[in-house]
Structure 1
């Protein structure tokens, strides 16, 4: 039986391209013990206006890095979680209140406020924001953290060891990872590599996937609603099973 694995840092209200990659997997390894990057998507989401995706703003979670620039992601703490919850509410409402699907977005925001009331861990909050979106898709596979497994420190070695640790037989690779991944090591270990990619675009949908790698999934949710989002991600997942060069 083939087990597909996605290894991805927890990102707050992650981009649709990243969500779809995780939804294509049987196991998501949350890469929580890498270095925190201030300019990445770990603690912030790019919100885009429903009808004008080029109009964007950052929804950022203020964080404290106990070890400065060397702080690991799983050691990052949130500053004033209660105030952060109010900011999440305000910005999501400002961008998506006029969408007919805003009640679903408001429910996600309320759930995140509940999480923020119990933890100041960035990883916990970012992972939960992903779980909430995966729940909308009906995804119910396995989630584990990289910190729970032993892996080498080099990039290919880490990904290979983590894939093997969860009995993976296929590693789902994003476009960024494909630029440095040593596929020969995976081949030697009997693990195939699939570079995930969006499905062909039918007329009228092109803007969804052309923006999917730049803006938060909340934009697609506001535009398509839960049913439309499930349909688009299902097309993405099905496309990953189409034969292509490994």
Structure 2
């Protein structure tokens, strides 16, 4: 995976500094999620670029403004952490336009619930240090998406991800679901689009083939640290196993992915579901 800049600078700055991006690397395109699930985090970690999909329609009661916490000692004990969000344009509101309804209360609730669920972990102090930057976003912006993006950025940074974050609203792309994804992949100079198994069900192959791109299907393991990885926040395994253990689990998936030795499979000129 080629080294890129994981700094906390805004995506628009990163885009403006890369007038002729080098070809190559994996690109993941995903909406900002609040403290995302491990399966989502793993897909982003495996990519060289994460394009934050912030200019599509906001979806209520989705991971764009909430996350499911799981108790350290019992992952079946769960509780939703939600950032109440107002949609200025109703159902037509784009993700980047959604605003927090009560940022002060949401900040307090987020800090309190995370402490309650994970404060007993020996890995909590290091996480708490980085969490302060996420909590500060509740005061520095009214946008739900920026808080969610900051929460994911924190986890990626803690795990040593060397990639680069950009936003779809800063990049050129045509309409059409698959065409848009292909255009965004081209815009950052990546050669491969990293797609979740859900996306593989609707992905059209022609825009990627025309652009000379490959599509790589991503599917995370389901055992050991990955148990409940598609159901609860990645904070559960992070606080349970620690940064080094979780980072190695993510790197292992990334290595198998690029070698083509795991379930994820490379598709050149087409897309097929991962079995």
Under TM normalisation by the shorter chain, which class is it?
Answer: over 0.9
Aligned position for 2:15: none
Figure out how many residues of one structure are paired with residues of the other and give that number: 241
Instruction: State the shift of 1:40 in Å.
Output: 1.2
Indicate the SS of the match to 1:58: strand
Separation in structure 1 between the aligned mates of residue 137 and residue 228 of structure 2, nearest angstrom? 28
- The residue that corresponds to 1:141 in the other structure is 163
- 2:234 is equivalent to residue 224 of structure 1: no
1:29 pairs with 51, 55, 59, which one?
A: 51
Q: Do 2:33 and 2:148's aligned partners in 1 also have CA atoms closer than 8 Å?
A: yes
**Offset of residue 233 of structure 1:** 1.1
Which of 237, 255, 263 lines up with 1:238 in the alignment? 255
Query: Mapping of 1:1-246 within 5 angstroms?
Result: 2-199=24-221, 206-243=223-260, 244-246=265-267
Structure 2 unaligned spans of 5+: 1-22, 268-275
Q: CA deviation at 1:60?
A: 0.3
Work out whether residues 50 and 223 of structure 1, in 8 Å CA contact, stay in contact via their aligned partners in 2: yes
TM-score, normalised on structure 1? 0.93
User: Cα deviation per residue 1:123-172 (whole Å; 9 max; x = unaligned)?
Assistant: 21111111111111112322111011222222111101111111221000
Where structure 1 has 5 or more consecutive residues not aligned to the other structure, the ranges are none
Question: What's the CA shift for 1:31?
Answer: 0.3
Deviates more, 1:181-190 or 1:57-66: 181-190
Alpha-carbon distance, 1:118 to partner: 0.8
1: CA distance between counterparts of 2:60 and 2:258? 35
Q: Which residue of 1 aligns with 2:13?
A: none
Deviation at 1:245, TM superposition (A): 4.6
Q: SS in structure 1 opposite 2:76?
A: strand
Moved over 3 A (4+): none
Displacement of 1:242: 2.2
Q: CA deviation at 1:184?
A: 3.4
Cα displacement (A) at 1:188: 2.8
TM-score normalized with structure 2 length: 0.83
